[in-house]
Amino acid sequence: MRTATVTIKPAALTHNLLQVKKRAPNSKVLAMVKANAYGHGIKVVLPALQQADGIGVASFTEALEARDLGWQKAIGLVEGVFSAGEWQQAIDHDCSCVIHHLPQLNWALDNIPKDDSPTRTVWLKYNTGMNRLGFDDDTVIDAAQQLSDAGYQLILTTHFANADDFEHPLNTVQIQRFNKILKVLQQAIDADIQGSLCNSAGLVNFPEHHHDWVRPGIMLYGSSPVTHKCAAELDLQPAMDFSARIMAIQTVKAGDSIGYGSRWFATEDTQTALVSIGYGDGYPRVVSADAYVCVIDSKTAQSQRCPIRGRVAMDMIAIDISAASHITLDSEVRLWGDAPHVDEVATYAGTIGYELLCRLSTRPKRAVHIEP
């Protein structure tokens, strides 16, 4: 049987949440679980994130799924609702919404939830420089005033454009704008207005600006959110192992090539193995010549680094096993997990770990690693 497998490690998720809490001890945590928990599967992830104060999702459908799975704490819709009808649904399901533009403001003003409804708390989005969603300097104070007059509790929020890059000049601009407007709102409208500025990268790079809520995503899943430190240096554990098995072993003769497009030629007779994984599973088709996988030595259980040779196909890749030992048909091959880390694979593929995690196909089998 074909055995490409995605294994989720709940203990790693819980560990990573703990790291978030250690870094931001005075803030509440809105754990981002949008896009099916960054590809990990929301059903497995939610129980591991019970210690979060709330979860963040991108759509009402995702919110509903979380409610159906029994999540009772706060849910934040980080893009808000898309219609007046959906605003009512958000009220019905106790979701708290971002309000980032006029139509959403009007839906909220036209239909005010009851005093004790979680929807009475809204995340007012302020555009500090990302220039995607949010009210600008000219409109944010007025929007806040209207919402506050209507009885809403406010969390002023914004999103960094470059928080992964500590040195980027826009970070300071965004932080200053955010802090200034938050102060204005607190002084002019309501001292209890809260703030939420940081995603994972902001949380790591700007500890003095955590405010009331942090909104970590990628670091919960064990990837590094910053450019200058890897996941291990941040004490983050990958929450996903992606693995497959060897399906054939062969020798490619010196001078021969392997795979589509004949992109790699053997300079000497080379032992290769075919692994039952490909872009049909979500492994990236284009990876650089440095890309490697780890094969588990069947005797010692040690992990051995084996380079990928030739093109990644839909269902298989070829790897060079000439320097490896005790490789047999059916040996386990790690595509990403502890090593290589998904962030490394992403570098070889010219993308980011987020994308690789989110774009896995439905073909690999799903498993959950239960700690012994």
Identity of the residue, 38 or 292, whose beta carbon is nearer to ligand PLP in the bound complex: 38
Identity of the residue, 32 or 236, whose beta carbon is nearer to ligand PLP in the bound complex: 32
Chain positions 73 to 112 lying near ligand PLP, rule: CB under 6 A, are 78
Identity of the residue, 134 or 337, whose beta carbon is nearer to ligand PLP in the bound complex: 134
**42 in Cβ contact with 71 (< 8 Å):** no
Identity of the residue, 220 or 275, whose beta carbon is nearer to ligand PLP in the bound complex: 220
According to the binding rule CB under 6 A, does residue 200 interact with ligand PLP? yes
Of 106, 80, 82, which Cα lies nearest the Cα of 95?
A: 80
Residue whose beta carbon is closest to ligand PLP: 217
Identity of the residue, 148 or 224, whose beta carbon is nearer to ligand PLP in the bound complex: 224
Pairing of strands 153-157, 194-196: parallel
Of 250, 251, 224, which Cα lies nearest the Cα of 235?
A: 224
| Cβ 106 to ligand PLP shortest distance, Å | 22
Tell whether the torsion through CA atoms of 128, 134, 137 and 142 is positive or negative: negative
Identity of the residue, 39 or 113, whose beta carbon is nearer to ligand PLP in the bound complex: 39
According to the binding rule CB under 6 A, does residue 218 interact with ligand PLP? yes
- Which one of the spans 14-22, 65-73, 177-185, 213-221 is the region binding ligand PLP (CB under 6 A)? 213-221
Partners of 157 in the β-ladder: 125, 196
End-to-end CA distance of the chain: 26
**119 in Cβ contact with 96 (< 8 Å):** yes
Chain positions 274 to 303 lying near ligand PLP, rule: CB under 6 A, are none
- Which one of the spans 62-70, 112-120, 217-225, 343-351 is the region binding ligand PLP (CB under 6 A)? 217-225
**179 in Cβ contact with 156 (< 8 Å):** no
Question: What is the CB neighbour count within 10 angstroms for residue 350?
Answer: 10
Would you list the DSSP string of 300-361? T--EEEEEEES---SS-EEEE-TT--S--TT-EEEEESSSS-HHHHHHHTTS-HHHHHHT--
Among 217, 278, 284, 337, binds ligand PLP (CB under 6 A): 217
Among 80, 118, 134, 216, binds ligand PLP (CB under 6 A): 216
Find the catalytic residue in 180, 183, 253, 260: 260
114 is catalytic: no
Question: What is the CB neighbour count within 10 angstroms for residue 25?
Answer: 8
All residues at 6 or more sequence positions from 277 whose CB lies less than 8 Å from its CB, including other chains = 4, 244, 283, 315, 316, 317, 333, 335
| Cβ 132 to ligand PLP shortest distance, Å | 9
**37 in Cβ contact with 45 (< 8 Å):** yes
22 is catalytic: no
Query: What is the C-alpha separation between 202 and 168, in angstroms, rounded?
Result: 12
- Which one of the spans 210-218, 230-238, 288-296, 334-342 is the region binding ligand PLP (CB under 6 A)? 210-218
Chain positions 13 to 52 lying near ligand PLP, rule: CB under 6 A, are 32
| Cβ 134 to ligand PLP shortest distance, Å | 10
Query: What is the C-alpha separation between 106 and 253, in angstroms, rounded?
Result: 70
| Cβ 135 to ligand PLP shortest distance, Å | 15
- Which one of the spans 39-47, 197-205, 240-248, 345-353 is the region binding ligand PLP (CB under 6 A)? 197-205
Judged by the rule CB under 6 A, the positions of this chain that interact with ligand PLP are 32, 78, 159, 199-201, 215-218, 225
Catalytic residues: 34, 260
